[in-house]
Structure 1
Amino acid sequence: MGAGRDHVHTLGLAVDGTGGDNSNGSIGSFFEGVMTSGLPTDAADDAVQANIVSVGYGAPSPVAGGTLDAGSTMSLRATTPGYTDRYVRHQANSAVTSVVSSGSSALDKGDASWIVRRGLANASCVSFESRNYPGDFLRHYDYQLLRQPMDGTAVFRADATFCPQTGKNGQGTSFASYNYPDRLIRHYENKVYIASNGGSNAFDSATSWADDVSWRVSTPWTP
């Protein structure tokens, strides 16, 4: 660091070479950073910090909740008849839908709340950061949506970016996968996928597809 400089205020820390003594020092999430040879310049410190702050990991911005504005915290409610009390939440790292109400536990409410971020692969789209696990995002893998820590790769960024459009059933909003634009976020048998309207997978079924891919962006259960 330059003389008189404070340390860079990062929201994630990579500690290299720990854990061999059976300690838990290497456990955690790596958000984004840079490895340098020797001491970085003040300009390099500032550039890394600016990058981290620009993404906004870890905390909601002062934006009204329940919108798709970057920094807003919101919950996604299903619009399929008979399932309108179900919300997208993470459970054991997978995205599922669960009934969430005012009587639900704080954990369930937090798991069903998401911070809207500028799309990690395209700023005109959106990404969804976990409210309970800062730095973890919804991304698709083998068509299923998972909650995983952002690793900075182009593949992750694309998999975690979704482009909003008018809800296919005329209600709310549908979210097309950035890198598979014919596939939209869909709930099917309580799990969440990116699904096409008809296809070889069970979750691509055309039955109720328009309803299942349409979501209400709601006031968050956990602000």
Structure 2
Amino acid sequence: MTSGYPSDATENAVQANITAAGYNGGSTSTATLTPGSRISLQATTAPCCTSHYLRHNDADTKVVISSINSSSSATDKADATWIVRAGLANTSCLSFESTDKPGQFLRHSNYQLYLNTDNGGSSFAKDATFCPTAGNSGVGTSFQSVNFPTKYLRHYNYTAYIAGNGGSNAWDATKSWAQDTSWLTAAPWS
């Protein structure tokens, strides 16, 4: 018999084990990638990052991953919540708008991910559009860059990039690439 409630770390570890085992009705997502929906993107790399979510920094425009849980501040939860939009450059794909900074989108520049205001240009639209594919690790979803189709949204050293599986940049490292480019579409934190 038990009493009390499990810690956030315990809940996250149990959820990661459930996901890794392929339960959850055959799905590894708890939210949908339907335009207009709100989601959070959870990293799947074990053991380091299964409690981490893609979020923007408030101190600068960089996009990173960090641990978010029920005890996190409202600001941190909002920073890790995205509105799914039809892709700015290709409506068959997706773009991710910040919930707490309307009009600002997840976009890559020199392969690193940032939160920037949509300037209406075609380059921005391409940099902010990602096509969902089956997770490269066999779990969740991977997001392929529309203008660099060999590169996927990846976390590397807690920073977000678009990365290929091998290449000249440190974030293109093949070690953990499949896991680092696979994301769970989670219920929104905010």
Displacement, 1:219?
A: 0.2
Matches within 5 A, 1:172-183: 172-183=140-151
Question: In the alignment, which of 43, 48, 66 is matched to residue 78 of structure 1?
Answer: 43
Q: Which runs of 5+ in 1 are unaligned?
A: 1-64
2:54 to 78, 84, 88: 88
What is the CA-CA distance between 1:66 and the residue it aligns to? 2.2
Shift of 1:67: 1.0
What CA deviation, in whole Å up to 9, does each residue of 1:153-182 have, x standing for no partner? 000000000000000101000000000000
Query: Is 1:138 matched with 2:106?
Result: yes
Equivalent pairs, count: 158
Matched, 1:197 2:165: yes
Indicate the SS of the match to 2:171. Answer: helix
The residue number in structure 2 matching 1:215 is: 183
Q: Which runs of 5+ in 2 are unaligned?
A: 1-29
Match of 1:184 among 144, 148, 152: 152
Look up the SS of the partner of 2:126 in the other structure: helix
Root-mean-square deviation (CA, aligned residues, Å) is 0.8
Higher Cα Rg, which structure: 1
CA distance, structure 1, for counterparts of residue 153 and residue 114 of structure 2? 12
CA distance, structure 1, for counterparts of residue 87 and residue 31 of structure 2 = 17
Identity between Structure 1 and Structure 2 (%):
53
Q: Secondary structure at the match of 1:89?
A: strand
Are 1:69 and 2:34 an aligned pair? yes
TM-score norm. by structure 2 comes to 0.82
Structure 1 consecutive aligned stretches of length 4 or more whose deviation exceeds 6 Å: none
How far apart are 1:126 and its partner, in Å?
0.1
